[in-house]
Each structure stands twice: as structure tokens, then as C-alpha cells.
Chain A
Amino acid sequence: MPTPLSFGQFLRETRSQKDPGTFSVRKLAGRVGIEPSYLSKIERGEEPPPGEATIRKLAEELGEDPDVLLALAGKVPTDLLEIIRARPRLFGDLLRELKKMPDHAVLRLVREVRDGDW
């Protein structure tokens, strides 16, 4: 299994696949409200990942799933934390069970909006 990318590597890789005019370090940092030098250090792994709010802004700007970015940053999204806290045993058991399942089996659990008769 290939080594998963770090948060900084993933960020740099994703940003570099976008239009360089719109997604330069300076422009992206400006849009999410952080210093360009700070973003650059995060990408190089010289600074730890930023807080959840900034990660969410980065995800929105880059068109990435915020859950993926938060996971790479080693953080659990606040809404997921609340779900687990509400029923810790149930969701603890569920996640441990899912851990062993292959992707295609987990994907079957994704919930579709049901279409009926109209």
C-alpha cells in the first residue's frame, strides 16, 4: 500500500493541479485569511496543519472534501465528534466493524435519496 500523503503534501499537490494564476500560494492564502509564508510552511511540513475553520476554508477553495483534509490533518470534524459523543458505544462499535470492510462494501452504506412513485 502506498504511503499516504501528509497534509502539507496533499495541499501542495492539489493546489499545483489548479490554475497557477488563481491558486498561487499568495492568492490562496489571501482568500482563506492566512499569511502566504504560513501556508508555504504548512505545505512544506514546517508548520503543523491549521485549525478546523481554516482547513474548511482551504477545502472549499480547492474543491476538496473537508473531511478528507481534516483527516489528513489528524483532526476529527466537530460535527462528527458530536455524533460520536451522543452515542459513543454505538458509533465506536460501528467504526471498528467498518474498519475491516473493503471500500466497495463501505460504499454500499452511502445513503441515497430514495425516489418513489410520483
Chain B
Amino acid sequence: MIELKNHELHFSFSEPFETVRNLASDYALKTLPLILAEDRDAALDACFRANFRYEETSQEDQQTLREQVRLLPPEKIAAFFKKKVHRTALPDCHCCKSAQMSVAFKRTLRVPNDGKDHFLPPGFGEFPLQHVDDYADRAPTSWLERGGVMLPMYQAEALWINFNSSYPFAVKIASGKINAITGAPWQSGLHRQPQDYLVLPEQPWLDGFVVGDGVVRQFVAMPLGTGASVEEQSTGKAETGGIQIQVFPMKAEYYFRNQVLPLLPRTLEELLPEMLAELEIGHEVVGRCSKRFIIAESAMGLGAGGKIKQQVYQDPHELNVWDTSLTSRCFVHLCNALVWREITGTNPPHPPITANEYQTSGMPWFDFYRDDLETLAGSEALAKIKTVGALSAGQGTKPVTSHTVAQAPKILNCGPQIRPREVRQWAPAEDVLKT
């Protein structure tokens, strides 16, 4: 099912949620008796030796903690264990009872087409999304046939796509039914060699067509019929336009076996650290011990790419882990901002500021890099696509303004542990927004 909530598309699938919940319950049922039968003193000693500097703990402290753990009622351990299993298996699915992902289209500035490498531009909030069906009397007939939603864009305005998910999904993105990863015409299903989809949650954003390893060409809106769209350059026709999205959840059994099971506690020793903290048992003793764990700093890369520097990741799973029998797809129509008002009766957002105005205001660009995942090589077909700026210059038409960036950019590095909505959001002051 796809819903429109707060200008985001929410894709939800109840089947994987039900299957994972049942698998988690079965696991809890089988493992709980073994955990309850364990020797608690031995489990506590092993837990402390693995996680804390036990040798620094006094005999008195050790004895206090042993007593507290011995007195724990089995029902309390059982309740904590079941809760732990279910929240590990379905971290963000409880309130919606389904495996969910969301897609938002972010307003942004257009990066200069100056041959230089650019970092990720900021987000200025979501493009407004509307059901095309709500404007059946004014929207073009072809839009109503395709269904879906629409958003307003100015000519030569840019966007990036934001993904948010905790459950794994494979996502296909196309524009004018030309795949944005491979440059191939739209095909149903998922394919490898070349991989024609993104993998979530590894991929947080997509800023453009994937033209090389670590390089994308920014998504920039152009009217159909000018010959500037990727669709027109690939097919010679201006028929479809818009953005197409298709989503496939991971098979629930595979997800549970490979991504959940290794994280579930199998013994009382593994359960104890979190249980002691949550039940506030022996926290004075635990607080006096220094932890052995060292949290590794996230390695980030800064370097030369091209156009926009953005990695698109290879699927680390086998192709058959994706459930192609469960899928949802959506057509996102791009509506010229000048026509948007006529169709909807509402004003489109103000045009975004230029890259130079943004940068001279001292605001940051963004970089995101992971060295633990393989990246896609990019599409040769897409690499041959001429840019919007080059085409308008070659045709002798009014060139699409390409602003240069005068000063060195300020870069913010975003780690792989991305918190939704916390990064790449920038709200410029009103005076900066004025053109």
C-alpha cells in the first residue's frame, strides 16, 4: 500500500511484518527455557568478564550483584527477553504493524555545471506532493491514466530523493521510464549485471543519474519536447516524463535468518548487559566499572569525483532475497511550477537560491562516504548523456544559467549512522531566499 503523508510517499507491506513477528515468537518460545535453566552466577561472571573490567570490581560489589541477579523472578527475565527479541526483529514497525519505507523529494540548489566535482547540496525541505486524482478536472488526461502524485518544479530546478527505512528494500528509480542507475528502458522485476536498483537502508539518498563510480549527474527538471531530458536523448521520444518508483521488500524469512538472528541473545550472558541496565539492577556497581568497548570512529572520505560525488551501493545480498511477488510502484509527475498554481490553486515553493549565493552565505555542503560497501560502476549510457547546460548552449537557445562558485566550500561529513531528518536539511534565512 502507498499513502501520502506530510508530502512523503509511505510504502508499507504487512506480510513481512507478520512473518517476522511469528518467527521472532517461535525463537523466543524455543530459546527462553534454555535461558531460564542457565546457572545465573556463571552467566553473570561471563557477562562481566566480557564487557567490564571485572578484576577492578570489589568482592563486595560482585556479591551484591550476584544476589540481585539470583533474586530476579523468571517472569521478569522472560518479559525482558521477549521484548528484546521483538524490538530487535522489528525495530520501527510496531506502531504501523508493517514493514515500511518512505520517499521524499527534496528541494535543493543546482550544482554548477563547470566540470568540477561538487559535494552533496543541501535540502531546503520537501516538494509538496498532491494526488493527481484530486485535480481530475484540470490535470492532463495522461496524468490521470497513470495515477500517482505530482509535484511542482521550475525549469532547470534540481531535486534529490530521500529514503527512510529500517527494514531492507530494493528500490527502482526511473525518469521517463529510463532507469536512473543503468540508463536502460524500464523493465519489470529486479536485475543484476548491471544492478538496476538501490538497496535500503544502505542508500540514504539519490541525487541524480549514476554516470560513474561515485559520481552522479544531478536530477534537473526540463520541459518535455526540448530534447534535454534523459528520456528524449535515450529514446528520441518525449512521451512519459516524471519519476517512476518501484519498491520490493526483502523476503521475511531471509531477513530474519541473516539480519535478525545474529543479533538476538542466545544465552543469559548475552541478555544480561542490557537487562541489568534497563531494569536498573546493580547500576552502582556497573557504573564503577569502566567499559571495554571502544566505539570506532566512522571513516569518511573527501576526494575528487565528478559532478556530484555520491556513491551508489552494490546489493550485498543474493538477488533471490527480494520478494518480487510483493511490490508497489508509483508515478510521480513533475509539474511545471508555473502551471501548478493553475491546477491546484496553490502557490509552488519559491525558486531556490543559487549555489554561489548559498556558498557565499557560509552555509555547508555535505559529504557521505562508506568504505565498507562495494559501489556500482555507473552507466556508460548515462555517462554519454549531454548536460542541460551543454544542450541549451549548443542549440543557441537562452542558456540555462550555470553559476560558478567563488569560494572554497564548507563541508559537513555525514556518518553512516544517519538519523532521519537530521542531515542535509537547511533552512536559509528569508533574505537569502530572495532572488
Contact = CB atoms under 8 A, between A and B. Distances in A.
Interface of A: 16-18, 20-21, 60, 63-65, 68, 110-118
Given A18-B87, A63-B92, 15 more contacts: A17-B87, A21-B277, A65-B96, A111-B4, A113-B4, A113-B330, A115-B2, A115-B328, A115-B330, A115-B331, A116-B331, A117-B147, A118-B145, A118-B146, A118-B331
Given A112-B1, A113-B2, A16 B95 contact: no
A113 B3 contact: yes
Contacts of B83: 17
Contact of A65 (B3, B95, B147, B330): B95
Contacts, number: 60
Contacts of A60: 421
Given A60-B421, A63-B95, A64-B95, A115 B278 contact: no
B177 interface: yes
B92 A116 contact: no
B179 to A, nearest CB: 14
Nearest to A59: B95
B258 to A, nearest CB: 21
A13 B87 CA distance: 13
A20 B278 contact: yes
Contacts of B277: 20-21
A118 B4 contact: no
Nearest to A19: B274
Contacts of B146: 116-118
Contacts of A116: 144-148, 331
B3 A112 contact: yes
Given A17-B83, A112-B1, A113-B148, A118 B240 contact: yes
B276 to A, nearest CB: 10
27 contacts: A17-B83, A17-B87, A17-B94, A18-B87, A20-B274, A20-B278, A21-B277, A63-B95, A68-B95, A110-B1, A111-B3, A111-B131, A112-B2, A113-B2, A113-B4, A113-B9, A113-B147, A113-B148, A113-B149, A114-B131, A114-B147, A115-B2, A116-B144, A116-B331, A117-B147, A118-B147, A118-B331
B133 interface: yes
Nearest to B10: A113
A17 B278 CA distance: 9
Contacts of B328: 115
A20 B149 CA distance: 40
Nearest to B93: A63
B7 interface: no
Nearest to A65: B95
A113 B12 CA distance: 12
